[in-house]
Each structure stands twice: as C-alpha cells, then as structure tokens.
Structure 1
Amino acid sequence: MSGLTTSRPDLRVEPDVVDRRSRLVAAAEPVLADLAEQLGDAAYCVVLADRESRIVDVPVGARRLRDRLAGLGVVAGGVFLEETTGTNSIATAHELRQGIAVHGEEHYLEPFKGFSCYGHPITHPVTHRLEGVLDITCFDRDDSPLLRPFLARAAHDIEERLLRTARRAEQRMLAAFQVAAAGRNRPVLVLGEGVVLANPAAVELLDPVDHIRLRELADGVGRRGTGASPQSPPVRSVRLTSGREVSVRFQAVAPGADGVLFEFTDPGEVRPTAPRRGPVRRAPARTADCLPGTPVYIGGAAGTGRTTTARSLTGADRVLIGAFDASEAAVRGEAAWLVDLDAAADGAPGLLLVEDVHLLPEACAVRLRRLMERPDLWIALTGAPLAELTGHGAAVAAACPAQIELPRLRDRTEDLPDLVRAMLDDLGLGGRLRFTSAALAALAGHPWPGNLRELRTVVRTVVGRRSAGDVTPRDLPAGYQVSPRLRSMTPLERAEHDAIATALRECGGNKLRAAERLGISRTTLYSRMRTLRITV
C-alpha cells in the first residue's frame, strides 16, 4: 500500500538532522560503551535510533558487519519506518512500541533477509513518551535467543539514566525557581518537561491554558539556546486568557537544561527587547460602535458567528423586526421575497436582518439598497468576507458605513478557551465539565474549516460522551486529536497542513484513504505529516 517493493528500500538519509547532543545520546553513551566491552569482536552491531526512527549512530559492531549494513543504509541519519523500509527491528519496534525480533525471511526487504535483528523501544520513565529504539543485528547464522533479554536490559539501563537526568533537571529547575521567587511578589513560573513550578502570584495570574502559549513563546529556549546572553534575556508582551496583558522575561534555567524560567511584570515596567512577530490582524469594529439607523455589514466565512453577531445588535431598545435569507429569494421567487421584505420594513421600528447578501439577485440587491437609504430603518447585513465580495454583494456591502469583519477560527485560536467555556455554559455544563490544556492544545492544531459551527459540534459531541470532569485529548472525536503546531508556518505550509488534516478527519484517520483523496502516496503523506507535526 505504501508503494514499497521488496527489492530496495525507499530510504531517506538525513545526517544533518541527527542530534548528537540530545538527552537520549547522553543517557545512552555509557550503556553503549559497556555493550562494546561485553561484545568485543563478536559479529554483532548495535544501532541507536531516535524518536523519529532516525539512526543516531552505529557505535558498536564488528567492522565487516558494520560495512555490510552501511551499504544497506544503516548509517547515521537513515530513517527506518515501516512504510519506507518494511518490517525490520527498528521500524517495527518504533511502530508497535514494544520489543520485537525479526529473523531472516521475516524481513520485508530482500537485502535484509540474511540478518537477524532485535529491537526494543526506549521510553522516558517520566513522560512515557518514546525517546528512541535500540537494536542489535547479526548475520542469521550467529543468532542467539539470549540477544532479546540482553538488548532489553540495555534499553532499561538507558531509561534509568534518562530518569536520573530528569531528576537532575528537576533539581536545577527548583533551584532556579527558588532564587527567582525569593523575596518577590511578582509572578514566577518554571515550565519543564512534565514539571510546572509557580509561586502564588503566578497561580493567581495564569490559567493552565496560558502555559501552552508560554511554551510556544519560549520554543527553542533550553537545550537549543536562544542566542541571547544571560544578562539580557528576551522580554515579550503576552495577552493572557483572562484578557490581561503582561510582560514576560524568559530564559533557560541552566545551559543545556530543558526548563524555562518566566518572570512577569506589568507592561509599563519593562520594555520588550524585541517586537512581537507574526501577522497583524485588523481589529474588527465592535457591535457597540454600530449606532441604530446606521447600516452595518458583518462579513466572514461560514460558521464564524455572523448571525450571532448580528442578533447581538438588538437589546432592550433594539428589536429584531425581521430576518431574511438571500438564498430564499431563488427558492420562493424574487417577487414573493421582496413583498415580505417590504412588509417587514414598513412595520414597527427595529433592526431588519438580511443574511448572505452575496447571494442576492440583482433586483433584490437594488431594492435592498433603496431601503438602506431610509433614515427610519435600521438594516444589518451578513455575508462573505469583504475581500471575497463581487458584483451586487460588494455594492450592497460598500453602502454600509459600519463594517465588521469576523476572523476565521484558525486565526483566533487564542480565543478557544473562552469560546469553549461559553459553549459549555450554553449547554448548562460550565461548572461541571472542563477542557484540559492538552485538549485545548489539540483543538488549536486543527484547521477548523467549519469555524465556530464546527467547534460547537465538537463540544456537543464531547458533552454527549461525558457530562463531568476533565476533557482530555482522548475524549475528543478521533479526527480532532491533532497535536498543536509547535512552530510558525509559511502560508504554503499552513495550506498544506490544513489540507492534510481535513483529509485525515474526513477519512476517519485512515491514512491510506486520505493519501488517495489527496492524490499522493502514503509514503509522501507520512513524510509531510512528520514535517508539519500532524498526528492522529
């Protein structure tokens, strides 16, 4: 199904991507050195691969066997996945997340059928995430059943060293937190892998969802460094889920450490050292600014809340006297539609709502523009985004002095926590059900082609499954369990991300069907999913 033949692999070799200073390598080095001493000149090779199933090194092995494997792509940077190399001890252990033995003919690729291989996953003891795969390979004639427990013991030793490294990192984070928080009333926070340290001021200031934004803000700090000196750590202005804007100074807790220290101040106290990056969106006009009697156009993609925004214009002294859908003019006939529109316009004073005006026929658009000129009549219109309007729809919208442009949900994911809370409140579950930060982060990675309407459907689906407690990513519909995008994307990458995520969602997570729908091979789909950080 992946288009892979048994004669040769579809192997990628990415030596420049290999991280030889990672936690995995640091934890594995003493264990691998011990394996080299134990194996001596025996005809075995030990291979270490990272969490992407990319070979980091082949540090142990007889020269003849290592040269033979190198000719088959078993070199630093070689990516061994089942869809590109078939069944083997690295790819299959990575896929199954469990120890595996592959003997001779059990290999999918013909060139590997002369070998016996054992693979074992390396799992982080704290986070329980896959960190890599350890493999031992030999010629089929040198196979031994003792290799399986031998390899499992070595993988366990690496995991133990990862645990000790994590504990030392926690100690460094605690020390940095204590120094920063000592004698201060300002909020102080430390975020590490599986660790959150916060003083009372930070607990009061921050919502768990804010942690996601802070992690994204500090992406690249820590092991990779920021490029800023310790004397001048970067400062950014951040808007929290509460709506409050604060300045935050952040830096790695120690060179080579994963934890990041955040110190918060009011915006006026510290001037940011660098401007915030990213696209600047024009703030939409507020509904409160739309004066009665002034025609208003509310534009946006379907599902962005155009109707809700229009109806919010009414109040105790603003009554909705009629709501019309432009699409009905084609169904009922233009004459009948215009008769009802005129009758509503001649009734009691209030707000007259006409939706989807970009679909209006010419005669209806002309009549609507005349009604908009009446000083005693207040009209609100909804329709497509202003930039997409043409013809009569554009002319009607242009005649509105007040215009509100509603952004797509994917461009306002920072509002997701408030939107989800409001939807839960509408369903009467606001105090009983809570979306965790991990669940909100998964939703933030979704392209949301259906905007608020689609989000409301997801929330209702979750409510149908559980009515109290914390909602985790596992409680979301399968097609929405998407990891957040951890890096900024170009417009082309974003479009590609959205197309792949939509295809996966519509195919229920079936990658083969999604690849067929997109017109690409499954191998290409897997590759692009890894590059764009899409997981299902």
Structure 2
Amino acid sequence: MLDDQARAVYRSRERFLGSGGDVERLPGVRADILASWRRSLGYGLEPERSRPTYAEPGEAEQLIRATQAVTETRRHHLADTTASICLTDHTGRLLLRYVEHVGFRRRLDHHDVLPGFSFAERTIGTNSGGMVLETGRPALIAGPEHFFAESLQLTCVGAPIRHPLTRRIIGTIDLTCAHDQTSPLLLAWVCELAAEIERNLTGAMSTHEQALLAAYLRANHDNGQAVVCLDERTIVTNAKASRMLGPQDQALLWERAGRWVRQGGGGAGTDRLVLSDGSAVSMSTEAVVDGGIAVGALVRLRARATAPPCAGVDALPATSTVADLPDLVGRSAAWTALRRRLAGVEAGRVVLLGERGSGKSVIARAWLAGRGITDLRVVDLAATPAGGAGAVGAPGGWAAGLRTAIAAADGDDRAAVLLRHVQHVGEGEQPVLAGALDFARERGVTVVATCTQQPSAAETPALDLFDVTVDVPALADRTDDIAPLLEELTWRATGGLRRQRWTSEAVQIVTRATWPANVAGLEALVRAVAAGPATERVTAAALPAVIRARAARRPLHGLERVEAQALMEALARANGNKKAAADALGIARSTLYRKVRALGLDLSGHTF
C-alpha cells in the first residue's frame, strides 16, 4: 500500500517515462533520483523488460571475508523480517546474499537477486547499489523511486565500501526490505556495517600495506602539501595531489619513484616531472620501509613555474630559446635540452648522434624545416659503399652522390643535404667524406648527418669531421614523452580519422617496457594497435603479449621471456580470466599466480 508521498512519486515516475525523460522537475522526486532515472534511460533500459544480467563473479575473497565477519554477527536482525543484506563488488555484481524469511527469499530469487547477477545502474536502472557506485555516496531508494518495475514494492538502502588505503570504492553493502518497512534509520545502520567492513579490511592488510597507510597519514598532516603514497599496485593521494595528477601522470609517477626506490636511494631524492597538461612539478621521494625492506614510495609534489633540469642535463639560463621542431612532440627535460642545444647551432656541418630508432632523421628534417629549409637532398651511406667496384671515391658510390647532392643544393637557401648513417664510414673512407664536407663549406651548403651510437667513440671516426655533434636522447631518457608520443603517433597511424585515448594502465605498461628500437619501436606498436578493432580507448588488454612481457618489473632472460610471453598470450586469449588461462596452459591457477609474481608481470587487474 503506497502512502501519499509514494503515490506522488509514482505519478511523477509515470509522467517521466511517458515523456521519454523530457521534463525539468517532477513533484516529490529528489534531484539525485531524477538524475539516476535519466541515466537509466540513457543506457537504453526499459522498466518492464530490463533484468539483472549474469556474469561470472570476479575475485573478491578479501572483501567477502571482511563482510562475512560482520554479517554473521548481524544476520539475526533479519529473523522474522522481509529483509535481506547483499554485498556487491565494484562493478555492481552481487557476491553475497543473506535472507532469513522463506517467502522473501523466493521473491528475491524470482527477481534474480542472486550471487553473480549485476545490479549496476546500467543493468537495471535506479537502485541503491547502482546509485552508490555512480555517486560514491550512501543511497536510499524507496518503492516507486526504483526504475525497474518489479522493484516498486521494495526499498533498498546502500553504502559504499572503500579500500582503507586507496579510498577507492571496492563494493557496496545493501539492505533490501518491503516498502512498508522503509525507515531513515536503515541508512545509518547500513553505513555502520560498511564502516565495520572497512575496519576489517584494514586489519587484514599486509604489513607493507599498513606501512604505506601509516606513511601517508603521517605525511598528510600538513594539508598544504600534495602527497602521494604508492607502490606497484596501489596509489593513494590527498585532494591537492589528486587535482594535480591525471591518470597518465600517476603511471609515470610510480615509474619515476619506483626506479629511485629500487636503486636503493636513501633519505629523500629530488627530481622534476612534466605533467600531461604541460606544467612542471618538483617531486621529493623517500622510500616507505617495512622490516628494513623498501615496499613503496612517499612522494611530495610542488608546482614550479620553471622546473630545474634533471640530473645529467646541463643547466641553461631561464631565457634560453628552444629550436622549433614542427610536428614533433615532447615535454621531457631531455627533449627540452635537445631543443635548446639545436637552437644554439648554426648552419654548417652538424651530426645528430643517438641510438637506433631514436628519431635522428626526423629531428634533422624538423630542425631544418624550422629554419625554412625544406628541400633536402638525402644520401644514405648504408645503401652503398663509398665508391663502385670497391675503389674509394670511384663513380657510383655515396661519395659521388654526396658531391652531386651538394652541388644541387648550391645557391638555394631552402636546400640542404641530409647524410644518413655516417657510422658506416671507415677509416679509409674518411678523406673522401672530409673532402665532400670541405666542398659543402666552400659552397655554403648545410650538411646535417645522422650517426647511430656505437659502443665506443673509436668505432665512429667520422664524428671528428663535423663541427657540431648533437646528442639525441634515447626513449628510455624520455619517459615523460611517452604519453604524448602515443597520442601523436596514434593520430598519424589512423590518418587523423580518429582519436584513441590510451588508458593509464596501457601507458604504464608501455613506459615500463624496454624499447631497443626506441621511437621506431613505439611507432610499430601504435601501428599494430591501430590496425586492430576501432575503439575509443586503448587498454592494457589491447597491447601485444610480447610488449606486456617486456614490461616485467625485472629484466627477463632466456626461457623467462618465453614463459612470460606464453602467460600473457594465454591471459589475452582468456580475456583476463586467470582460471581459464591456467587451464589452457595445463597448470593450476595457483601456479599461474606464482609464475606471474616470480616473473614480475603486471596483470590488468592491478592498479599499479
């Protein structure tokens, strides 16, 4: 039987549904309920036909144990009442259900209020658990406030359960009862249950998680600081740090802080970080220690108008200009130092020195284009020897081609010569190259060369023939640039037809992976991903298994690499289902977990 208030809500609900949601306000309907109804319609749900959907329950043993310890002592409150207590995970999937009344149990069974069924808003519309997950706040949904037609005679009350360390919602605790038993006191009781579950979770944390929490709480006493406490799986920030950091920044932060901790840094280490919005911050990092072992990092961030350079980068005056490199992206300290170095280089005989695939030729073209030089005569020393028939300087080799290119560029201010792979010039060929470079100087022609870095300078004698050597940083020294590089390379790979956003988990894996081919290897990865299904987001699951294996938290050797790739491929084929992956590999799930830990692999379920 509905009271006057409930009847008013019911009439407003009918009006809302009849108008297709095209109403501004409704008598008796709370703003958050109206917002939830609109979301429900936006998901394409129908009140009379939408039902909970079933999905295999995920792994939430710790949450279940913490809840059972609470509900087993409270379930006597349900005796002789038409009420139930339910636990859901962070997706809205029901994990546990307690109900004592036989008739009410049958009623809930009929409505699929059963473990494994999803009660997220996008599945059945407005309900307490779904609304808690959407808003992060406790919720009471009474009778006709529900979207699902079969729930109009019920009231449900829910509260969020947050991880004690990260404060992220990991589940909800919900009470469902007959509508005529609705009471505002139910909300306080459910919130008390959630608080007790969170206390149990705190007590069940490992000692290193407790060490992280204690370090964060100590550091967070000063509200003026941006504080982050993190390890490879967990990150907790205060409000100020959260406002500063985007998802991609969080991934990069752990890579930088984790590297310092793994290297055994004592005291507090200082560094600078360029964030995804282009702002620079200084970061002070100190290890979080448990039992004499570093288990994480405590980071304090401070915004800087002009951040100091990283270690190993020469300090430059604040007024230093940077070279214009059209269409190239980067914000790292190493990239900025390269641009400043190029800004101070005059036209002449210049060589760019760097690892294979670091972008030397692309940078040379961009630097020259920024100076108005767009007509490049390219000579590739890797394609042909100095002279035909093996004679130094004989016709048909690169020597003749280089002189021809210099002559063609003579007198044209928009022309220059790009000489690639000068590491192939041997000692006997140096006089040939020296003569060609002198010829270019006489004609006033700029020659820019590229040279792949060799194990020792003695193996590249040709470097001595150039006026200026500019070091091009490897991708390993440009980790701050990986996120913008992924975006730009994806844009190019798709011909500018679509923008794909790389998730923080995917960016972190790419950042952690080794890249022997540098930017060229990164570009190959982006092309492979772009050739796959067209999606708005590139997730960790979209990355090739070989890349995820290369992102192991320690170097892998020999058969370890084979094992890592086999594990990641099996998990990809099983859509992340660890039991299915273990079955496919013919091993126990416990063995799979042990192998993953031993190899230092990153599973997609981990936050960091």
Q: Could you tell me which of 381, 402, 420 is aligned with 1:341?
A: 402
Q: Which residue of 2 aligns with 1:234?
A: 268
Matched, 1:206 2:245: yes
Per-residue deviation, residues 25-82 of structure 1 (Å, max 9, x unmatched): xx99xx9xxxxxxxxxxxxxxxxxxxxxxxxxxxxxxxxxxxxxxxxxxxxxxxxxxx
Q: Could you tell me which of 442, 451, 457 is aligned with 1:383?
A: 451
The change in CA–CA distance for 1:171 and 1:436 in structure 2 (over 3 A counts) is: same
Matched, 1:406 2:460: no
Structure 1 Cα separation of the partners of residues 481 and 561 of structure 2 = 21
How far the C-alpha of 1:438 sits from its partner, in A, is: 1.8
Structure 1 Cα separation of the partners of residues 498 and 225 of structure 2 = 30
Per-residue deviation, residues 404-449 of structure 1 (Å, max 9, x unmatched): 2223334443432232122123335697312222222222333222
How far the C-alpha of 1:296 sits from its partner, in A, is: 0.8
How far the C-alpha of 1:497 sits from its partner, in A, is: 4.8
Aligned residue identity for 1:354: L
The change in CA–CA distance for 1:502 and 1:366 in structure 2 (over 3 A counts) is: farther
Q: Which residue of 1 aligns with 2:382?
A: 327
Structure 2 Cα separation of the partners of residues 447 and 285 of structure 1 = 22
Query: Superposition pairs for residues 113-262 of structure 1, below 5 Å?
Result: 165-166=204-205, 184-191=223-230, 196-216=235-255, 219=258, 234=268, 236-241=270-275, 242=278, 244-248=280-284, 262=299
Query: Which structure would you say has the larger Rg?
Result: 2
Q: Could you tell me which of 488, 491, 499 is aligned with 1:422?
A: 488
Structure 2 Cα separation of the partners of residues 331 and 505 of structure 1 = 43
Matched, 1:263 2:318: no
Structure 2 Cα separation of the partners of residues 423 and 227 of structure 1 = 35
Q: Could you tell me which of 404, 415, 419 is aligned with 1:354?
A: 419
Does the residue aligned with 2:358 lie in a helix, a strand or coil?
Answer: coil
Does the residue aligned with 1:481 lie in a helix, a strand or coil?
Answer: helix
How far the C-alpha of 1:478 sits from its partner, in A, is: 1.6
How far the C-alpha of 1:202 sits from its partner, in A, is: 2.2
Aligned residue identity for 2:395: A
Aligned residue identity for 1:205: M
Structure 2 Cα separation of the partners of residues 533 and 167 of structure 1 = 19
Q: Could you tell me which of 419, 432, 436 is aligned with 1:368?
A: 436
How far the C-alpha of 1:169 sits from its partner, in A, is: 10
**Length, aligned pairs only:** 353
Q: Could you tell me which of 519, 527, 534 is aligned with 1:452?
A: 519
Query: Superposition pairs for residues 71-82 of structure 1, below 5 Å?
Result: none
Per-residue deviation, residues 468-510 of structure 1 (Å, max 9, x unmatched): 33222210112111374547xxxxxx5x659964997699979
Per-residue deviation, residues 362-421 of structure 1 (Å, max 9, x unmatched): 274244333354361111011221654556x513x2122211222333444343223212
- Residue pair 2:387, 2:399 contacting (<8 A) in 1 also: no
How far the C-alpha of 1:177 sits from its partner, in A, is: 6.8
Does the residue aligned with 1:449 lie in a helix, a strand or coil?
Answer: coil
Structure 2 Cα separation of the partners of residues 218 and 292 of structure 1 = 38
Q: Which residue of 2 aligns with 1:436?
A: 503
Per-residue deviation, residues 302-346 of structure 1 (Å, max 9, x unmatched): 211111111112125323331110123339935134444323312
Structure 1 Cα separation of the partners of residues 344 and 566 of structure 2 = 39
What's the RMSD between the two structures over aligned residues? 5.6
Aligned residue identity for 1:247: M
The change in CA–CA distance for 1:227 and 1:390 in structure 2 (over 3 A counts) is: closer
Q: Does 237-246 or 163-172 show the bigger shift?
A: 163-172
The change in CA–CA distance for 1:499 and 1:339 in structure 2 (over 3 A counts) is: farther
- Residue pair 1:386, 1:405 contacting (<8 A) in 2 also: no
Structure 1 Cα separation of the partners of residues 567 and 220 of structure 2 = 50
Does the residue aligned with 2:488 lie in a helix, a strand or coil?
Answer: helix
Aligned residue identity for 1:374: E
The change in CA–CA distance for 1:249 and 1:331 in structure 2 (over 3 A counts) is: closer
Structure 1 Cα separation of the partners of residues 440 and 560 of structure 2 = 44
- Residue pair 2:549, 2:568 contacting (<8 A) in 1 also: no
The change in CA–CA distance for 1:306 and 1:168 in structure 2 (over 3 A counts) is: closer
Structure 1 Cα separation of the partners of residues 219 and 378 of structure 2 = 58
Query: Superposition pairs for residues 382-531 of structure 1, below 5 Å?
Result: 382-385=450-453, 388=456, 390=458, 393-395=460-462, 397-427=463-493, 432-482=499-549, 484=551, 486=553, 497=557, 501=561
Per-residue deviation, residues 192-233 of structure 1 (Å, max 9, x unmatched): 7866554553234223233234435655999x9x998xxxx7
- Residue pair 1:358, 1:383 contacting (<8 A) in 2 also: yes
How far the C-alpha of 1:535 sits from its partner, in A, is: 6.9
The change in CA–CA distance for 1:218 and 1:373 in structure 2 (over 3 A counts) is: closer
What are structure 2's unaligned runs of at least 5 residues?
A: 1-60, 70-162, 167-198, 315-333, 389-393, 571-592, 604-608
Matched, 1:312 2:366: yes
- Residue pair 1:290, 1:296 contacting (<8 A) in 2 also: no
Q: Does 461-470 or 189-198 show the bigger shift?
A: 189-198
- Residue pair 1:177, 1:188 contacting (<8 A) in 2 also: yes
What are structure 1's unaligned runs of at least 5 residues?
A: 1-22, 32-123, 128-159, 488-493, 511-525
The change in CA–CA distance for 1:509 and 1:219 in structure 2 (over 3 A counts) is: same
Does the residue aligned with 2:442 lie in a helix, a strand or coil?
Answer: coil
